[in-house]
């Protein structure tokens, strides 16, 4: 059933002993690596395992672990198997090495993550103002950046939103229908609370 996936995972395991490999389902292999192993692993997957296609790169903020997780999704054209390579890096003044020599389109991803998460990719010389013009606050995609607080003190909030804070309550108030129990705990707090 999963022989191709197993074959790939064995090859990877043989090469990178420290990799935690998990076959999520058919055609999905998740590989957890140390951050310094990512460049060799990507080149290995690209050249030897023939995962030529970089589907996606993304970043996840693990505020509780005080880490940032970088996710690379590679794909193999023959078997259409996708490898999800993950790694964790330090959250405070995060550093990583630029990988644009493997896939040039990574440069754009790195610029975006530099702007949105404050990760500094060495070797990428185009890190700078990308999408946010004259942004002088902490990177907005970090979870400890309070978006609503920033929006409230930066932008003018037109009054009259309050009744729309909890759509179900509003609907029930307007149309007399009573709110189901499970919906109560999803109620958003009001702007005026903070």
**Which residues are at the interface with another protein (CB under 8 A)?**
131-134, 136-137, 140, 145, 147-148, 150-152, 154-158, 160-161
Smaller CB separation from another protein, 93 or 136: 136
Cβ 84 vs Cβ 28: under 8 Å: yes
- In whole angstroms, the minimum distance from the beta carbon of 156 to another protein comes to 5
Q: Which is nearer to another protein, 156 or 182 (CB)?
A: 156
Question: Checking DSSP bridges between strand 67-75 and strand 53-62, what pairing results, if any?
Answer: antiparallel
d(C-alpha 127, C-alpha 38), whole Å: 20
Dihedral of the alpha carbons of 146, 85, 43, 11, in degrees to the nearest 10: 170
Secondary structure of residue 120 in the 3-state scheme = strand
Q: Which is nearer to another protein, 55 or 157 (CB)?
A: 157
* In the complex, minimum distance from the CB of residue 143 to another protein, in angstroms, rounded to a whole number: 13
Pairing of strands 28-33, 82-90: parallel
Ramachandran angles phi, psi of 177, nearest 5°: -75, 140
Cβ 191 to another protein shortest distance, Å: 9
Closest by alpha carbon to 57, among 120, 100, 3?
A: 100
Question: Would you say 128 or 160 has its CB closer to another protein?
Answer: 160
Nearer to another protein, 18 or 137 (CB): 137
Least separation, in Å, of the C-beta of 129 and another protein? 10
In the complex, least distance from residue 52 CB atom to another protein, rounded to whole angstroms: 35
């Amino acid at each position: 059933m999963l022989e191709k996936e197993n074959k790939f995972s064995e090859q990877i395991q043989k090469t990178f002993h420290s990799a935690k490999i998990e076959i999520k389902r058919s055609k999905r292999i998740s590989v957890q690596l140390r951050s310094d192993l990512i460049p060799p692993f990507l080149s290995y997957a690209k050249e030897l395992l023939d995962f030529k296609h970089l589907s996606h790169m993304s970043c996840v903020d693990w505020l509780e672990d005080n880490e940032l997780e970088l996710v690379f999704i590679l794909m193999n054209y023959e078997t259409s198997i996708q490898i999800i390579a993950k790694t964790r890096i330090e959250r405070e003044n995060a550093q990583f090495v630029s990988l644009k020599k493997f896939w040039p389109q990574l440069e754009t991803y790195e610029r975006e993550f530099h702007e949105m998460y404050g990760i500094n990719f060495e070797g990428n010389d185009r890190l700078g103002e990308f999408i946010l013009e004259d942004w002088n606050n902490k990177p907005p995609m970090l979870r400890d950046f309070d978006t609503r607080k920033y929006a409230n003190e930066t932008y003018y909030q037109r009054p009259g939103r309050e009744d729309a804070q909890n759509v179900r309550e509003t609907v029930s108030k307007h149309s007399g229908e009573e709110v189901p129990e499970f919906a109560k705990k999803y109620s958003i707090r009001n702007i005026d609370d903070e």
